[in-house]
Homo-oligomer: A and B are copies of this chain.
């Protein structure tokens, strides 16, 4: 029976026809799946089996596209960083900064969450997004330095405001991305509120 005419896999069900993709497309599809999988639990807590399952492939295929788990993760993070940079543009924190962030987050929610909820806290990979976070902190600090004197409170505000902005964007994703124009207004207002509170005294 089983050795008769070679049936595809395990003779289960109506024999799904096996999706074939060309190399470059499969690579992208794997990156998509890996982004989703990693975004659920971070690097360490995500096994290659989870990723393979998410991509509906075997583990072996992952190794035909990436040298190692770390390599795959780096590729995922790199792509997410690139997309983020593209979607936000080289905009140096002018008034369009927050709408740009929202666009970026909406364009790649899993990548966004992965970058800022997990990768930012993973010692081995933090460096990959440090350029971004360091830049935003620096810009924030320069803006704040006009109204807050040098000292621990400036440090506090300069760290807090970018972190808060990201939290607000992620909370917006979690809330189902309602009305992005309104979201931009609310987040902008909230950031101003935090900045006002960061002042020493009125």
Interface check A190, CB cutoff 8 A: yes
Residue of B nearest to A41 (CB): B123
- Assuming A45-B122, A193-B190, A197-B187, is B163 touching A167 (CB within 8 A)? yes
The stretch of A5-13, A63-71, A152-160 that contacts the partner chain: A152-160
Min CB–CB distance A19 → chain B (angstroms) = 30
Which A162-183 residues have C-beta < 8 A from chain B? 163-164, 167-168, 171-172, 174-176, 178, 182
Q: Report yes or no: B176 in contact with A152, Cβ–Cβ below 8 A.
A: yes
Interface check A18, CB cutoff 8 A: no
C-alpha gap A118/B171 in the complex (Å): 18
Contact partner, A194, options B44, B151, B190, Cβ 8 Å: B190
Interface check A109, CB cutoff 8 A: no
Contact partner, A186, options B45, B190, B198, Cβ 8 Å: B198
Give the size of the chain A interface in residues (CB under 8 angstroms): 40
Chain A at the B interface: mostly helix, strand, loop or mixed?
helix
Interface check A147, CB cutoff 8 A: no
Q: List, in ascending order, chain B residues with CB within 8 A of A164's CB.
A: 164, 167-168
Contact partner, A189, options B117, B153, B197, Cβ 8 Å: B197
Q: Report yes or no: B194 in contact with A171, Cβ–Cβ below 8 A.
A: no
- Assuming A117-B121, A167-B167, is B155 touching A175 (CB within 8 A)? yes
Min CB–CB distance A176 → chain B (angstroms) = 5
**Residues in chain A within 8 A of chain B (CB atoms):** 40-42, 44-45, 117-118, 121-124, 151-153, 155-156, 159-160, 163-164, 167-168, 171-172, 174-176, 178, 182, 186-190, 192-194, 196-198
Given A152-B176, A164-B164: 9 more A-B contacts, CB < 8 Å: A42-B121, A118-B121, A152-B175, A153-B178, A153-B182, A156-B171, A159-B174, A186-B198, A187-B197
